[in-house]
Structure 1
Amino acid sequence: MEQLTAEFGGAGLAGTGVGPVLEKFDAVSRIVVLRGGGLGDLIFAIPAIAALRTAYPEASITLLGTPVHKALIAATKSPVDEVQVLPFSDGVRPGAENEDELNRFFSDMRARRFDLAVQIHGGGRYSNPFLLRLGARHTVGTRTPDAASLERTVPYVYYQHEPLRALEVAGFAGAFPVDLEARLAPADGVRPLARAADDDGRPLVVMHPGATDPRRRWPAERFAELAVACAADGFQVVVVGDVSERAIADRIVELAASGPVRSLAGQLDMAGLVALLVSAAVVVGNDSGPRHLAQALGVPTVGIFWTGNVINAGALGRSLHRIRASWVTTCPTCGVDVTQVGWTAPRCAHDDSLVAGIEARDVHEDVRSLAATELARPEA
């Protein structure tokens, strides 16, 4: 206990959450949370933000995020009050930095006089100095040994479940967990999609074949095999993705060559994606944003994961969510150990799928099982 108290700058222990829950800060009316990255990155942060909302119910919560985060918060009900889009900044939001834009941003943020700034964006090498420039009275976040220190810091170890890591940070800000995983609902006005005239009441399976890291992508041929099997079962199948994923979605439709399989890749805004996902019986996807969003919306999912990503991002429960994990630990081309990540070892140059060995028949069985469970639920 003495070592714990010393490391945390003398903060007393208030209780236990994912990790220690320290004493709350006094007089907190304005909270800012730093979380850049993609759609899934924000979804991982939602439980921590919900915990902060409960611990400081009178405080406003500002998210410093990305344009896709702003779109998600607009399309859902969440614990976030507002989103301020981050300027381009090395290690925080990739892109060409503009010093004048950065200075204006920090001037505007300091003028808000935040009481508490919370960093849940990586190990802090770049994000901690960024957070400190906001000028908040109190700072909390993660930290690798080479990162700037904050008032209270949680040691950053790469292999940790991301929502639980963020909850541990929230605990250091005095916030007990409310949920272990994200819970979102469609915003008012965002409704499940109306049935198409030609769908004959067939339940919907949504597939997302994309992922930021190509090594996390299940091959198009596997998705097509699954789509054919689902169509034969009487499902309608819709493939989704952003504009950059349109070609792979079209390839899946082409390979499936089945009437009930179609692509909406590149055609949906965030509200449209939310509306589609909540209409689905099951969503199948790689470790990527749309699958994580479907889970947060309470839709059953089958996730195709590389084993290391299961640790960081896999669903905790199995009643509504199934995981098919690949246990590959070396690059199929060069044999390098792919479990060594980040600063521990450079990534090899190869983009071979690490999940290609997962069989379509196994994923199909999960889809059938989850769809039967979902259809048996009242008001499904």
Structure 2
Amino acid sequence: MEQLTAEFGGAGQVGIGVGPVLEKFEDVSRIVVLRGGGLGDLIFAIPAMAALKAAYPGATLTLLGTPIHKALLAAVKSPVDEVQVLPYAEGVRPGTEDPEALERFFEEMRARRFDLAVQVHGGGRYSNPFLLRLGARHTVGTRTADAASLERTIPYIYYQNEPLRAVEVAGFAGADPVDLEARLEPVAGLQEGIPAADGGGQPLVVIHPGATDPRRRWPVERFAELSAACAADGCQVLVVGDKSEEDLAERIAGLAGSANVTSVAGQLDMAGLVNLLAKAAVVVGNDSGPRHLAQALGVPTVGVFWLGNVINAGALGRSLHRIHASWVTACPTCGIDVTQVGWTAPRCSHDDSVVADVAVRDVYEDVRSLIATGAGRQDP
């Protein structure tokens, strides 16, 4: 306990969650959470925010996030009370910084007089100084050795499950875990989505072939083969994606060669995507935002993951969520070690898939199993 007290700046340990759960702060009525990035990044932070809301039930919770976060949280029930869109800032939200806009943002945030600011945005090299400029009474977050310190910090080590990392941070803010993975529910009155999704009573298989890093993408030919096999079984297959993934989705639909395989990429807003995923029998995807969203909605998923991403982003359970991992550790072109990430080693210039060795047969068998057993629906 003496070692804990020294490391945590005088805070005593009062419980056990993913890590120690420390004493709650007093008189907390306004909480702010920093989490930029994409759809999956937000979903990883939901369990931590649920824990914070439960620990401080009278407090409002503000998320500093991105436009896609704001769109999603308008379409689902969540622990977040409001979203403030981050300004462009190095290491926090990529884009061209406007110093005057940044300063206006911080002035507005400091005027909120936040009681507690929580950082779950990476190792803190950029996000911790950003968090400190909010002027909150208390600060909690992750920290690499070269990052600014907060009032309470946990060490940031890259290979850790992201939702559990965020829950551990919430524990340092005095919040016991409520759940270990995100659980979301669509709000009433969402866009009905694609009419084709309601046709014929066929099992609906939704496929998302994209990923931010092209190395995480299962090859188009594999997705097409899977889509054709599902269609031959009588399933309806819809391929989703954003505007940038339209060509990818259309290639899959074309190669599948079935009227039961259709691309709807670029046709859905966030509410429509939530609605469509919620109707699916199974969602198949890479390590990507729509697969993580489907999981949070209680929909069965089959994921194609690189082994390192299984550690960071893989579903914890296997009754509803199946994972097929590639064990590739070197770039297929130049041989560089791809397990050394980010700041620990340079990324080579090659975008070869590191998940191409995952067999279509294995993914297909899990899709069939989830549909046949109806392991199916789990209410959020």
TM-score by length of 2: 0.98
Q: Distance in 1 between matches of 2:197 and 2:213?
A: 37
Q: C-alpha offsets along residues 269-288 of structure 1, whole Å, 9 cap, x if unaligned?
A: 00000000011000000000
Residues 1:284 and 2:278 aligned together: no
> Is it true that 1:240 corresponds to 2:240 in the alignment?
yes
Q: What's the counterpart of residue 367 of structure 2? A: 367
Residues 148-194 of structure 1, C-alpha deviation per residue, up to 9 Å, x if partnerless?
00000010000000000000000000000000000000012127668
Structure 1: how far apart are the matches of 2:191 and 2:108?
36
**Partners of 1:377 and 1:42 in 2: CA distance:** 23
Give distance in 1, aligned partners of 2:207 and 2:336: 31
Tell me the equivalent position of 1:185: 185
Structure 1's 246 and 377: CA in aligned 2 closer, same or farther, altered over 3 A?
Answer: closer
Could you tell me the percent identity over the aligned residues?
78
SS at match of 2:14: strand
Contact residue 193 and residue 273 of structure 2 kept, 8 A: no
Whole-angstrom distance in 2 between the partners of 1:212 and 1:377:
28
Specify the alignment match of 1:61 in structure 2.
61
Does the Cα contact within 8 Å between 2:299 and 2:377 map onto a contact in 1?
no
Kindly provide the amino acid, as one letter, of the partner of residue 62 in structure 1.
T
Looking at structure 2, the residues matched to 232 and 14 of structure 1 have their Cα atoms a distance apart, in angstroms, of 56
Partner SS state of residue 27, structure 1:
coil
1:313 maps to what in 2? 313
The 3-state SS of whatever aligns with 1:118 is: strand
Q: CA deviation at 1:257?
A: 1.1
In structure 1, give the amino acid aligned to 2:27: A
| Mapped partners of 2:137, 2:379: distance in 1 | 47
Question: Could you say if the C-alpha distance between residues 150 and 340 of structure 1 is closer, same or farther in structure 2, counting changes exceeding 3 Å?
Answer: same
Determine if contact 2:192/2:272 at 8 Å carries over to the other structure.
no
CA drift of 1:200 comes to 2.1
Q: Which AA in structure 2 matches 1:53?
A: K
1:245-265 alpha-carbon deviations (Å, 9 max, x no partner): 000001001101100000110
More moved, 183-192 vs 153-162: 183-192
**1:43-88 residue CA offsets vs partner (Å, 9 max, x unmatched):** 0000000000000000000000000000010000000000000000
- Count residues with an aligned counterpart: 380
Work out whether 1:122 is the aligned partner of 2:122.
Answer: yes
SS of match in other structure, 2:136: coil
The secondary structure found in structure 2 opposite 1:101 is helix
| Residues in 1 aligned to 2:68 and 2:373: alpha-carbon distance in whole angstroms | 32
Amino acid across the alignment from 2:114: F
Mapped to 2, the partners of 1:250 and 1:195 lie a distance apart of 18
Q: Please report the RMSD computed on the Cα atoms of aligned residues, expressed in angstroms.
A: 1.6
What code does the residue aligned with 1:200 have?
G
User: Are the aligned partners of 1:37 and 1:66 in contact in 2 as well (CA < 8 Å)?
Assistant: yes
CA 1:352–1:330 in 2, change beyond 3 Å: closer, same or farther?
A: same
After superposition, where does 1:250-289 map in structure 2 within 5 Å? Answer: 250-289=250-289
Q: Which runs of 4+ in 1 moved over 6 A?
A: 375-380
CA deviations on 1:218-247 (whole Å, 9 max, x unpaired) are 011000000000000100000000000000
Kept in 2: contact 1:192–1:279 (CA 8 A): no
Shift of 1:126: 0.1
Name the CA distance, whole Å, in 1 between partners of 2:289 and 2:40.
4
Q: Which amino acid aligns with 1:217?
A: R
TM-score in terms of structure 1 length: 0.98
Partner of 2:52: 52
Does structure 1 residue 12 correspond to structure 2 residue 30? no
1:140 matched to 2:140? The reply is yes
User: Per the alignment, in what secondary structure is the counterpart of residue 279 of structure 2?
Assistant: coil
- 1:34 aligned residue: 34
Assess, with a 3 A threshold, how the Cα gap between structure 1 residues 140 and 375 changes in structure 2: closer, same or farther. closer
For residues 197 and 234 of structure 1, the distance between their equivalents in structure 2, rounded to whole angstroms, comes to 14
- In 1, distance between residues paired with 2:196 and 2:271? 18
Offset from partner CA, 1:262-316 (integer Å, 9 cap, x none): 0110110000000000110000000000000000000000000000000000000
Q: Alpha-carbon deviation of 1:379?
A: 9.5
Residue 362 of structure 1: how far off its partner (Å): 0.7
- For 1:346 and 1:179, the matched residues in 2 are separated by 36
Give the corresponding residue for 1:323: 323
Q: Please say if residues 194 and 276 of structure 2, whose CA atoms lie closer than 8 Å, have aligned partners that are also in contact.
A: no
Query: Aligned pair in 2 of structure 1 residues 6, 379: CA closer, same or farther (>3 Å)?
Result: closer
Aligned residues of 1:193 and 1:279 also touching (Cα < 8 A): no
For structure 2, the 5+ residue unaligned runs are: none
2 CA distance for matches of 1:379 and 1:277? 13
CA distance in structure 2 between the aligned counterparts of 1:161 and 1:2, rounded to whole angstroms: 28
**Counterpart-to-counterpart distance in 2, 1:217 and 1:193:** 25
**1:239 to 1:157, Cα distance in 2 relative to 1, 3 A:** same
